Amino acid sequence: MTTFPKPTAILLATDLSARSDRAQARAVQLARQWQASLVVLVALTEETTFSRANAYQDDEAPVDAPAAETPAAYFERRARQALADAGVPVLVCVLQGKPGPLAVDTARQYGCGLIVTGSSRSDVAMRMEPGSTLRWLARNAGVPVLAVNDRVHADYRQLTMASDFSPASEAALQLADAWFSDVAQRTLLHAYTIPLPTLSLDDHARVEALAALQAQTEGNARTHLSQALGAGAAHWQLDVRAGGPVRLLREHAREAGTDLTVIASHGRSKLLDKLVGSVAERLLETVGTDLLVVRPLLA
């Protein structure tokens, strides 16, 4: 079984806007919980807007007036102010370039085991859009990416792992179990497809076939849990249903009060190819949970 130690450093990719507050709060909470340091990255892109009174010199300003504050200095000062009470070691990096590659390079440079970002759009600095930077990070980051959607009220309490029983999903399951072993409610959700020939059977035969398929799939799910987690499988519940994974994740989140959803970035059924991208945007907008994306390179 692969072991996944908790990160000793977390990268927070932020634009310091109000819409990034949730990601910041979650990154701080996890850093405190795991006793990790926090690396704060503000990426100044070409679209970055910077208009402040002290960003230029007035013609009538005295000769000894202080120099105008540069955008980099401004954002670094704001970041330090915002995280003054974080209670963990904080390093602030203000860099020029594309947010995705900068986040990956900075995480690698400082040994960050997790990248945390917001899920909402912003027109200030980071422009962390689910359909662009988040999708790029999910496909290219060498560490898990956490997109924070909900307000932070406490530690995570309800976790749902979407699995297709692939090796990538198994690795993501092991990581989720190791990082969030203190989460009270942990559920493995598996969505399966009903074969068309089964639906064409007469009523009695169809009912029997559907029951047999459900039982077989539940058995496969129990085997997957046991093989992946050993004795730790006892701490997980199963939710096995027929249907599409996105719809079922939304349904389960509403029913169980899920506040963290975990998915593997690739799987036997290309689960993330369905989830990350336009569907991931819908997940972030409609599921109402945070989303942790785990790449198979971790396996």
pTM above 0.75, yes or no: yes
What are the residues facing 29 on neighbouring strands? none
Task: Answer yes or no: same fold for 9-148 and 158-298.
Answer: yes
Question: In this structure, what token pair is assigned to residue 188?
Answer: 């493995």
Question: In this structure, what token pair is assigned to residue 100?
Answer: 């995705």
Start-to-end CA distance of the chain, whole Å, equals 10
Does residue 210 contact residue 198 with C-beta atoms inside 8 Å?
yes
Does residue 203 contact residue 295 with C-beta atoms inside 8 Å?
no
- Residue 160: CB partners within 8 Å, gap ≥ 6? 186, 187, 188, 189, 239, 249, 252, 253, 256, 258, 260, 261, 262, 289
158-298 CATH = 3.40.50.620
pLDDT of residue 61: 62
What is the topology classification, in CATH, of domain 9-148? Answer: Rossmann fold (3.40.50)
pLDDT of residue 233: 96
pLDDT of residue 58: 56
Integer Cα distance of 11 and 34 in angstroms: 13
Output phi, psi for 78, to 5 deg. -65, -40
pLDDT of residue 3: 81
pLDDT in tens, the chain (299 residues): 678 999 999 999 998 888 889 999 999 999 999 999 999 999 987 655 554 444 545 566 666 666 667 888 889 999 999 999 999 999 999 999 989 999 999 999 999 999 999 865 443 333 444 446 777 787 788 899 999 988 899 999 999 999 989 888 899 999 999 999 999 999 999 999 999 888 888 989 999 999 999 999 999 999 999 999 999 999 999 999 999 888 888 889 889 999 999 988 764 445 555 555 445 555 556 667 899 988 865 44
pLDDT of residue 116: 96
What is the DSSP secondary-structure string of 202-268?
-HHHHHHHHHHHHHHHHHHHHHHHHHHHGGGGGGEEEEEEES-HHHHHHHHHHHHT--EEEEESS-T
Does residue 227 contact residue 221 with C-beta atoms inside 8 Å?
no
pLDDT of residue 114: 97
pLDDT of residue 48: 58
Residue among 184, 195, 150, 157 at smallest CA distance from 291 = 150
pLDDT of residue 150: 87
Question: In this structure, what token pair is assigned to residue 223?
Answer: 């085997």
Integer Cα distance of 75 and 177 in angstroms: 36
Domain ranges of the chain: 9-148, 158-298
- Alpha helices by DSSP H, listed for the chain, are 21-34, 71-82, 99-109, 135-140, 167-179, 196-199, 203-229, 245-256, 271-275, 278-286
DSSP class of residue 54?
G
How distant is the alpha carbon of residue 257 from its chain centre?
A: 17
Does residue 267 contact residue 168 with C-beta atoms inside 8 Å?
yes
